[in-house]
Amino acid sequence: MPARTDRTTDPVLRAQLLLARRGQAFFSRALNELLGDELDAPSLVPGWTRRHVAAHVGLNARALTHLTEWAATGVETPMYASPADRDEEIAFAATLPARALRNLSAHAAVHLDVEWRDLAPEAWEAQVRTAQGRVVPARETVWMRTREVWVHAVDLDHGASFRQFPPELVDALLADVVRVWRSRPAGAAVPPLVLEPLDRPADATLVVGDDGEGAVRLRGRAADLAQWATGRGARGVTRADGAPPPPPPRWL
């Protein structure tokens, strides 16, 4: 019989699962507050309406379920057949009636959560491949989902804010973005950056590249720096030299 609680006993993983589930509730609340015709309005994702965001988040849950099934069975199950198929699925799902779109989001999230709940402890370390081609342990699906639901709740542009995120999520997002930037090869258009979160200890400063005189130094609350770093605007972020904050380098 399937477990009624998470099979894993790993305290770190259980805390990560809780954060992902809180994010799903945060996203669902933001989505359900939107009236049907409000879904047609633009989102914060360039070129996407709120419908596209809702469709993407629902289909992302389905895609991550493919990875948990891969981990559980050992049978390779890619997230998407191809990037083109992914884009076509989102475009089609965005045309669904509002109720069907909400059902897609909700049901896919429940399915993924059940897969997580029933995944055997050893299966969390099984190697799977993301849509970007990275080979990662199945436990990475939890972080992948966490950033999707929390950040895309803001993208619905209906009042959700990075300042509402738990501190541990804000710090994890900043660390993730900086990790990606640092992993880019030399000359890959990531300028020297220094991010100084004013509501964190001094040793929480994050540096990308050389932190000398040529570095762009940005200051603000950690949540505001995370919002800027993920490409969601520069509210609350100031530059040490008084110039406007630049657009951030690409994250994902």
* Tens digit of pLDDT at every position of the chain (252 positions): 555 799 999 999 999 999 999 999 999 999 999 999 999 999 999 999 999 999 999 999 999 999 999 999 999 999 999 999 999 999 999 999 999 999 999 999 999 999 999 999 999 999 999 999 999 999 999 999 999 999 999 999 999 999 999 999 999 999 999 999 999 876 667 889 999 999 999 999 999 988 888 899 999 999 999 999 999 999 999 999 999 999 999 998
CA–CA gap between residue 177 and residue 98 (Å, rounded): 33
Q: What total number of domains does the chain contain?
A: 2
> Which pLDDT score, from 0 to 100, does residue 124 have?
98
Residue type, 180: V
Let me know: does 209 contact 191? Beta carbons within 8 Å: yes
Let me know: does 68 contact 124? Beta carbons within 8 Å: no
CA–CA gap between residue 36 and residue 39 (Å, rounded): 6
Domain's final residue, options 130, 160, 190 = 160
Specify whether 115 is located in the same domain as 25. Answer: yes
Specify whether 108 is located in the same domain as 31. Answer: yes
Q: Which two tokens stand for residue 210?
A: 């050389």
Specify whether 27 is located in the same domain as 142. Answer: yes
Specify whether 122 is located in the same domain as 17. Answer: yes
Whether 233 is in a domain gets the answer yes
pLDDT in tens, 200-225: 999 999 999 888 888 999 999 999 99
Specify whether 155 is located in the same domain as 174. Answer: no
> Which pLDDT score, from 0 to 100, does residue 21 have?
98
Within its chain, how far is the Cα of 12 from the centroid?
19
Secondary element (H or E) of residue 249: none
> Which pLDDT score, from 0 to 100, does residue 13 have?
98
The burial class, CB within 10 Å (0-12 / 13-18 / 19+), for 64 is buried
Domain's final residue, options 160, 189, 221 = 160
> Which pLDDT score, from 0 to 100, does residue 107 have?
98
CA dihedral 161, 166, 167, 172 (to 10 degrees): -90
Specify whether 147 is located in the same domain as 178. Answer: no
Let me know: does 69 contact 115? Beta carbons within 8 Å: yes
Residue type, 201: P
Whether 124 is in a domain gets the answer yes
Specify whether 181 is located in the same domain as 212. Answer: yes
Specify whether 120 is located in the same domain as 91. Answer: yes
Query: pTM here?
Result: 0.95
> Which pLDDT score, from 0 to 100, does residue 175 have?
97
Supply the range of the domain harboring residue 231: 167-239
Whether 228 is in a domain gets the answer yes
